[in-house]
């Protein structure tokens, strides 16, 4: 555990990605195999089942720190992270231990079946034995997703560096439902496996937002247009009668979408397509909210599959009959896509094509873009007819031309302290709209202001608090903000009766008084029936 | 009811009997000043009284003012009220102010810390009935490590940077923190270069406190000579063209707020060292106990939480609104008055 605590200390002391990768790679070279395996597990969000509730953790931590529970809670609200708060308030003791990370992880697994008194004794003893960074890491293992600014991708990169195994192959090796109890470092990482190559995805080609007048892109006839669908970008691979579904986060999500399994019977061997995964209830494109019911779910029940089926709207073909065709022009690749669609015609597969459009003038294209919300897209994608399929985010051949977000002027009514780098600053806000003479909450937003503006609003909150509810401060309604959002739908779960998608602060309307903020009716008028 | 010896008015902490204010935030005739940070010594009072070492500091900062210096423990009697200044250990020239009248004794801490920093005169507890205290870091989450351990880390950091051919840039408020850093750096590693704002105060402080040699950075300073050495600069220098010309460099901040991971990440410095000129949780509790006081008034910091806790310990504790930078310190992180 000492080495792991030291690793966390180093990772925490720097904000440079290269330094983090270096520290992790060194750890992956030097640590014992079981510790490496646990580190990989933790950083890919496989932690042991939480052995104690956070309520008990808070009670016991306040006891160990010799402070009343309310004082612990106040400290927690300010620090913003339970694992960190516990690590901070526990007094340093001179006792120590010689256990490894894997030992502690195994303890925690065993703890799950112990009684409350045994759990308490174990935690109080362990907290005393650990130093600050070990204690922080230990608490992180217990409390949550082990989010410490190290993404799975970064961890994979470090592991690639340490093992000299290709990063994409490692990414695949790390997929699936393994746990440190069911495998070993050798088996999971080092052993060669033919199948590793079978599932290998191509890196996604990503577009930048259009930053100029479209007419400046030149002759409109050189461009293909598609709607930009609002789902999850995905890559579907069929090789050797096996299907692999990769999300843009380079996460293998095959198991989550069983409806695609049928493609193995119809796609030619060696087919890779790029497309958008979309919810398709009642045979039409649903909202992102619908898709959300599928994303987080581990068990895909029959009922869920019937209620919210998904489809793939295909954009492109990257591999055709076993051949990498990314270098061929977009037009040619779309030809393969049409062939694929023909092959699958009348078979009632969850495969649709993202239709290509051509326009004679840029004005006509602009007109189509304005229609985007009606067809449930976010705007248009512009692709040069002769563009190859590039790697990563590149300028020039592909552009996204999104519709402007919907906006509304709302009043700041509540604030909470932020987390992470916004610890101790009031940066999480609740906004309300007028309903007759009352302000009704409609959205929360956390982003969109500059650091300087956040500091000003933080200052306002601290000076204009009218009531406190735990970590939440009610503030004098005085500040008006323009809130932007991507979509809007009726909702029974929200007090306002409306759910908005991806709300964020567009700007602070210092020129507006609260009486000039919008009403709930103004918001509802934006819903497209 | 009898008028209390010290009252909290809209101009500052006021002693009616003597007609003087302690660290007032609005213009007054007579101001007793604890220390030179901007939120405690403001411009525009007619007369300033402060401890000797602080006189050149506030004159440097406030220009032509009428300031009288007194010694620590020296008694000044104004209309039967006895005032005296006592070391607060916060920064060079910082004091607590004791106010006594007919057996009623009050102490106002200004800002203070208990652990010696090797530079300013260390804090001395003063017995009193009523203790007016800051509690900038009045949460059990704040616990400072011994200064020597922190400086071992800082010196180690400097050495590592030097070995990698990089210049170390350490940010600290130009009055107090900067000199504490300079005093405790291991000068066998290299030369200490200073930003003008820091060096100006070094010059003011040097006649009264011994500081290692430092080199002021000017337009003529040879950039190549600085490579691998350390630069002490105010936090406001972060991200400026002034600093960029010394690349390649690594940045760090020394402040109590660095105890929080979020605060470290927010500053966007490469490294955060937890080093404060204020009391941590245990120091605050120790200080209060040592005064033997019954009443505690908290002025700035996590005042509500801290005074509520003191009440559970049996103290008659309350909070008074002041304009010292407490919770609002975070609104202007560059203003390191409270760090």
Distance from CA of A38 to the nearest CA of B (A): 24
Model confidence pLDDT, tens digit, residues A151-173: 888 999 999 999 999 887 787 68
Handedness of CA A12, A18, A21, A22 (dihedral sign): negative
Domain that holds residue B121: 7-142+277-338
Helix, strand and coil percent figures for chain A, each rounded to 5:
40, 25, 35
Q: CB distance from B85 to chain A under 8 Å?
A: no
**Measured between CB atoms, which of B261, B271, B331 is closest to A84?**
B261
Could you tell me if B255 and B156 lie in one domain? yes
CB atoms within 10 A of CB A367: 11
Q: Are A225 and A358 in contact (CB under 8 A)?
A: yes
Distance, in Å, from the CA atom of A117 to the CA atom of B310, rounded to the nearest integer, reads 31
- Using pLDDT thresholds of 50, 70 and 90, give the confidence band for residue A250: low
Q: CB distance from A258 to chain B under 8 Å?
A: no
Cβ contact, residue pair B262, A418, below 8 Å: yes
Domain boundary assignment for chain A: 2-143, 205-402, 406-524
Is the model's pLDDT at B28 over the cut of 60?
Answer: yes
Could you tell me if B215 and B228 lie in one domain? yes
CB pairs under 8 A between A and B: 87
Q: Which residues, listed in sequence order, are joined to residue B312 by a DSSP beta bridge?
A: none
Cβ contact, residue pair A13, B327, below 8 Å: no
CB atoms within 10 A of CB A306: 9
Q: Which residues of B touch A451 (CB under 8 A)?
A: 266
Q: Which of A106-110, A512-516, B224-228, B331-335 has the lowest mean pLDDT?
A: B331-335
Residue of A424, A458, A459, A460 for testing the chain B interface, max B β-carbons within 10 Å: A424
Q: Which residues, listed in sequence order, are joined to residue A423 by a DSSP beta bridge?
A: A418
Distance, in Å, from the CA atom of A359 to the CA atom of A214, rounded to the nearest integer, reads 13
For the range A295-300, what are the long-range contacts, defined as Cβ-Cβ under 8 Å and sequence gap of 24 or more?
Answer: A295/A232, A295/A256, A297/A256, A300/A255, A300/A256, A300/A257, A300/A258
**Same CATH topology for A205-402 and A406-524?**
no
Q: Which two tokens stand for residue B334?
A: 């560059």
Which residue do the tokens 């290299």 mark? Answer: B190
CB atoms within 10 A of CB A15: 18
Polymer length of chain B: 339
Q: Which residues of A touch B309 (CB under 8 A)?
A: 67-68, 71
Is the model's pLDDT at A334 over the cut of 50?
Answer: yes
Strands A392-402 and A406-417: unpaired
Q: Which residues of A touch B137 (CB under 8 A)?
A: none
Polymer length of chain A: 529
Q: Are B252 and B270 in contact (CB under 8 A)?
A: yes
The chain A residue lying nearest B259, using CA atoms, is A88
Q: Which two tokens stand for residue A361?
A: 């003038």
What is the fold of A2-143?
DNA ligase i, domain 1 (1.10.3260)
Opening angle at CA A253, ends A251 and A258, nearest 5: 170
Model confidence pLDDT, tens digit, residues A464-500: 988 877 678 899 999 999 999 988 888 877 888 888 8
Model confidence pLDDT, tens digit, residues A344-402: 988 999 999 999 999 999 999 999 999 998 898 999 999 999 999 988 778 889 999 99
Please report the ipTM that was assigned to this predicted complex.
Answer: 0.90
Helix, strand and coil percent figures for chain B, each rounded to 5:
30, 25, 45
Average pLDDT of chain A to the nearest whole number: 90
Q: Are A197 and A169 in contact (CB under 8 A)?
A: yes
Distance from CA of A395 to the nearest CA of B (A): 28
The contacts of residue A247 (CB under 8 Å, 6+ apart) are: A232, A233, A234, A253, A277
Distance, in Å, from the CA atom of A345 to the CA atom of A170, rounded to the nearest integer, reads 36
Q: CB distance from A455 to chain B under 8 Å?
A: yes
Q: Which residues of A touch B300 (CB under 8 A)?
A: none
Nearest to B28 by CA among B17, B7, B14: B14
Q: Are A408 and A445 in contact (CB under 8 A)?
A: no
Q: Mean pLDDT, to the nearest integer, of B255-268? A: 82
Does any domain span residue B1?
A: no
Residue that terminates a domain, selected from B234, B252, B273 = B273
Q: CB distance from A420 to chain B under 8 Å?
A: yes
Helix axes A82-89 and A54-64, enclosed angle (nearest 10): 20
Model confidence pLDDT, tens digit, residues A424-460: 788 899 999 999 889 999 999 988 888 889 889 998 9
Q: Which two tokens stand for residue A357?
A: 């459009």
**Measured between CB atoms, which of A13, A15, A75 is closest to B141?**
A75
Q: Which of A219-233, A293-307, A346-360 has the lowest mean pLDDT?
A: A293-307
Q: Are B89 and B287 in contact (CB under 8 A)?
A: no
Q: CB distance from B309 to chain A under 8 Å?
A: yes
Tell how far CA A54 is from the center of its chain: 24
CB atoms within 10 A of CB A224: 20
The contacts of residue A20 (CB under 8 Å, 6+ apart) are: A11, A14, A149, A150, A154, A158
Distance, in Å, from the CA atom of B35 to the CA atom of B87, rounded to the nearest integer, reads 10
Could you tell me if B134 and B13 lie in one domain? yes
Nearest to A357 by CA among A339, A377, A342: A377
Is the model's pLDDT at A329 over the cut of 50?
Answer: yes
Phi-psi region of A346 (alpha: psi -120 to 50; beta: other; left: phi over 0): left
Strands B295-301 and A406-417: unpaired
Distance, in Å, from the CA atom of A209 to the CA atom of B27, rounded to the nearest integer, reads 55
Cβ contact, residue pair B263, A74, below 8 Å: no
Cβ contact, residue pair B331, A462, below 8 Å: yes
**Measured between CB atoms, which of A70, A74, A462 is closest to B328?**
A462
Model confidence pLDDT, tens digit, residues B110-122: 999 999 999 999 9
CB contacts under 8 A, A 311-350 vs B, are none
Could you tell me if B12 and B126 lie in one domain? yes
Q: Which residues of B touch A456 (CB under 8 A)?
A: 331
Q: Are A498 and A489 in contact (CB under 8 A)?
A: yes
Q: Which two tokens stand for residue A369?
A: 């873009």
Q: In what order do the strands lie in the sheet with A392-402?
A: A205-209, A392-402, A377-384, A223-229
Could you tell me if B298 and B217 lie in one domain? no
Average pLDDT of chain B to the nearest whole number: 92
The chain B residue lying nearest A421, using CA atoms, is B262
Q: Which two tokens stand for residue B4?
A: 């209390």
Phi, psi of A103 (to 5 degrees): -60, -50
Q: Superfamily for A205-402?
A: DNA ligase/mRNA capping enzyme (3.30.470.30)
Does any domain span residue B172?
A: yes
Does any domain span residue B203?
A: yes
Cβ contact, residue pair A79, B141, below 8 Å: yes
Q: Which residues of A touch B265 (CB under 8 A)?
A: 15, 149, 420-421
Nearest to B320 by CA among B296, B337, B336, B339: B296
Could you tell me if B110 and B76 lie in one domain? yes
Could you tell me if B160 and B113 lie in one domain? no
Tell how far CA B213 is from the center of its chain: 22
Q: Are A436 and A520 in contact (CB under 8 A)?
A: no
Q: CB distance from B137 to chain A under 8 Å?
A: no
**Measured between CB atoms, which of A65, A72, A423 is closest to B262?**
A423
Distance, in Å, from the CA atom of A184 to the CA atom of A38, rounded to the nearest integer, reads 10
Phi, psi of B9 (to 5 degrees): -115, 175
Output A190 or B335, whichever has higher pLDDT. A190
Could you tell me if B22 and B132 lie in one domain? yes
Cβ contact, residue pair B140, A67, below 8 Å: yes
Distance, in Å, from the CA atom of A87 to the CA atom of A132, rounded to the nearest integer, reads 6
Q: Are A238 and A260 in contact (CB under 8 A)?
A: no
Q: How far is CA A24 from CA A5, A17, B101, B272, in A?
A: 12, 11, 64, 20
Could you tell me if B70 and B14 lie in one domain? yes
Q: CB distance from A470 to chain B under 8 Å?
A: no
Where b means 16+ CB within 10 Å and e means fewer, B71-99 reads ebeeeeebeebebbbbbbbbbbbbbbbbb
Q: Residue B315's domain is classified under what CATH number?
A: 3.60.15.10
Where b means 16+ CB within 10 Å and e means fewer, B109-137 reads bbbbbbbebebbbebebbebbbbbbbbbb
- Using pLDDT thresholds of 50, 70 and 90, give the confidence band for residue A420: low
Q: Are A236 and A337 in contact (CB under 8 A)?
A: no
- Using pLDDT thresholds of 50, 70 and 90, give the confidence band for residue B329: very low
Q: Are A75 and A132 in contact (CB under 8 A)?
A: no
Does any domain span residue B72?
A: yes
What is the total count of domains within chain B?
A: 2
Cβ contact, residue pair A421, B302, below 8 Å: no
pLDDT of residue A197: 73
Could you tell me if B322 and B259 lie in one domain? no
Distance, in Å, from the CA atom of B27 to the CA atom of B336, rounded to the nearest integer, reads 23
Does any domain span residue B264?
A: yes
Is the model's pLDDT at B328 over the cut of 50?
Answer: no
Q: Are B54 and B36 in contact (CB under 8 A)?
A: yes
The chain A residue lying nearest B269, using CA atoms, is A15
Q: Which residues of B touch A65 (CB under 8 A)?
A: 140
Q: Residue B260's domain is classified under what CATH number?
A: 3.40.50.10890
Note the CATH number of domain A406-524.
2.40.50.140
CA count, 13 A, side-chain hemisphere, A32: 10
How many helical (H) and strand (E) elements, i.e. helices and strands, does chain B have? 9, 19
Distance from CA of B228 to the nearest CA of A (A): 19
Could you tell me if B293 and B250 lie in one domain? no
Nearest to B132 by CA among B279, B317, B313: B317
Q: CB distance from B312 to chain A under 8 Å?
A: yes
Strands A310-320 and A351-353: parallel
Radius of gyration of chain A (CA): 26
Residue that terminates a domain, selected from B238, B273, B308 = B273
Q: Mean pLDDT, to the nearest integer, of A298-325? A: 91
Is the model's pLDDT at B327 over the cut of 50?
Answer: no
The chain B residue lying nearest A85, using CA atoms, is B141
The chain B residue lying nearest A65, using CA atoms, is B140
DSSP for A261-329 reads TTHHHHSPSSEEEEEEEEE-GGGS---HHHHHHHHS-SS--HHHHHHS-EEEEEEEEEEETTEE-TTS-
CB contacts under 8 A, A 73-112 vs B, are 74-75, 78-81, 84-85, 88-89, 91-92
Model confidence pLDDT, tens digit, residues B130-167: 999 999 999 999 999 999 999 999 999 999 999 999 99
Distance, in Å, from the CA atom of A210 to the CA atom of A205, rounded to the nearest integer, reads 15
Q: Are A502 and A378 in contact (CB under 8 A)?
A: no
Could you tell me if B212 and B313 lie in one domain? no
Does any domain span residue B2?
A: no
């Amino acid at each position: 555990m000492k080495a792991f605590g030291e690793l966390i200390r180093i990772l925490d002391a720097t904000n440079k990605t290269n330094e983090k990768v270096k520290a992790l790679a060194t750890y992956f070279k030097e640590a014992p195999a079981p510790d490496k395996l646990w580190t990989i597990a933790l950083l890919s969000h496989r932690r042991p089942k939480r052995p104690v509730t956070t309520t008990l953790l808070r009670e016991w931590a306040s006891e160990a720190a010799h402070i009343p529970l309310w004082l612990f809670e106040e400290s927690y609200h300010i620090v913003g992270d339970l694992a960190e708060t516990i690590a901070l308030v526990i007094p340093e003791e001179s006792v120590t231990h010689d256990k490894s990370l894997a030992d502690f992880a195994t303890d925690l697994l065993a703890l799950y079946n112990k009684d409350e008194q045994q759990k308490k004794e174990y935690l109080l003893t362990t907290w005393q034995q650990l130093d600050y960074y070990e204690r922080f890491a230990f608490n992180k293992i217990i409390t949550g997703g082990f989010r410490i600014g190290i993404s799975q991708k970064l961890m994979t990169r470090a592991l690639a560096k340490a093992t000299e195994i290709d990063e994409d192959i490692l990414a695949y090796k790390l997929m699936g439902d393994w746990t440190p109890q069911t495998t070993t470092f050798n088996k999971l990482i080092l052993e060669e496996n033919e199948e590793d190559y079978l599932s290998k995805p191509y890196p996604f080609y990503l577009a930048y937002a259009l930053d100029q007048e479209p007419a400046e892109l030149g002759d409109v006839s050189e461009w293909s247009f598609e709607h930009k669908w609002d789902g999850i970008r995905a890559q579907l691979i069929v090789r050797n009668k096996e299907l692999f579904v990769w999300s843009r986060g380079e996460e293998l999500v095959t198991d989550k979408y069983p409806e695609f399994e049928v493609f193995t019977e119809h796609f030619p061997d060696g087919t890779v397509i790029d497309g958008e995964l979309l919810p398709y209830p009642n045979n039409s494109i649903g909202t992102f909210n619908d898709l959300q019911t599928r994303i987080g779910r581990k068990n895909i029940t029959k009922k869920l599959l019937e209620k919210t089926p998904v489809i793939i709207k295909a954009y492109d073909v990257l591999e055709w009959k076993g051949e990498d065709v990314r270098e061929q022009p977009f037009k040619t690749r779309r030809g393969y896509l049409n062939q694929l669609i023909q092959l699958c015609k009348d078979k009632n597969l969850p495969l649709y094509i993202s239709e290509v459009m051509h326009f004679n003038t840029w004005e006509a294209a602009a007109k189509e873009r304005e229609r985007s919300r009606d067809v449930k897209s976010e705007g248009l994608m512009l692709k040069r007819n002769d563009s190859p399929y590039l790697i990563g985010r590149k300028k020039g051949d592909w552009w996204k031309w999104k519709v402007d977000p919907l906006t509304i002027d709302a009043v700041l009514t509540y604030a909470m302290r932020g987390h992470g780098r916004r610890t101790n600053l009031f940066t999480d806000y609740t906004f309300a709209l007028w309903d007759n003479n009352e302000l009704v909450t409609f959205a929360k937003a956390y982003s969109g202001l500059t650091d300087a503006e956040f500091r000003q609003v933080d200052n306002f909150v601290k000076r204009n608090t009218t009531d406190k509810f735990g970590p939440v401060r009610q503030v004098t309604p005085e500040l008006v903000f323009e809130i932007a959002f991507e979509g809007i739908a009726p909702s029974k779960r929200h007090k306002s009766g409306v759910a908005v998608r991806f709300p964020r602060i567009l700007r602070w309307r210092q020129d507006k008084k609260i009486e000039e903020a919008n009403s709930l009716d103004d918001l509802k008028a934006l819903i497209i029936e | 009811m009898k008028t209390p010896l010290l009252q909290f008015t809209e101009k500052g902490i006021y002693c009616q009997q003597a007609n003087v204010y302690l660290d007032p935030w609005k213009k007054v005739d007579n101001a007793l000043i604890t220390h030179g940070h901007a939120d405690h010594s403001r411009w525009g009072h007619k007369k300033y009284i402060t401890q000797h070492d602080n006189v050149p500091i506030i004159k440097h900062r406030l220009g032509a003012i009428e300031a009288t210096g007194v010694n620590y423990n020296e008694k000044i009697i104004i209309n039967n009220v006895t005032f005296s200044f006592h070391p607060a250990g916060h920064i060079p020239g910082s004091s607590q102010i004791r106010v006594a009248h007919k057996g009623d004794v009050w102490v106002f801490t200004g800002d203070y810390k208990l652990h010696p920093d090797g530079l300013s005169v260390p804090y001395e507890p003063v017995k009193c009935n009523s203790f007016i205290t800051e509690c900038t870091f009045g949460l059990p989450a704040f616990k400072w490590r011994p200064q020597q351990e922190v400086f071992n880390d800082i010196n180690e950091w400097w050495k590592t940077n030097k070995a990698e051919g990089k210049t170390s840039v350490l940010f600290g408020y130009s009055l107090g923190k900067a000199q504490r850093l300079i005093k405790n750096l291991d000068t066998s590693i290299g030369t200490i270069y200073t930003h003008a704002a820091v060096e100006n105060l070094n010059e003011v402080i040097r006649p009264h406190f011994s500081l290692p040699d430092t080199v002021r950075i000017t337009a003529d300073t040879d950039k190549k000579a600085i490579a691998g050495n350390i630069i002490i600069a105010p936090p406001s220098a972060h991200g400026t063209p002034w600093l960029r010309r010394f690349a390649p460099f690594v940045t760090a901040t020394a402040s109590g707020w660095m105890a929080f991971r979020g605060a470290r990440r927010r500053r966007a410095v490469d490294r955060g060292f937890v080093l404060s000129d204020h009391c941590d949780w245990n120091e605050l509790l120790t200080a209060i106990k040592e005064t033997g006081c019954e009443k505690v008034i908290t002025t700035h910091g996590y005042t509500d939480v801290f005074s509520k806790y003191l009440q559970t310990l049996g103290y008659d504790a309350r909070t008074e609104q002041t304009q010292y930078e407490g919770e609002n310190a975070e609104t202007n992180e560059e203003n390191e008055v409270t760090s």
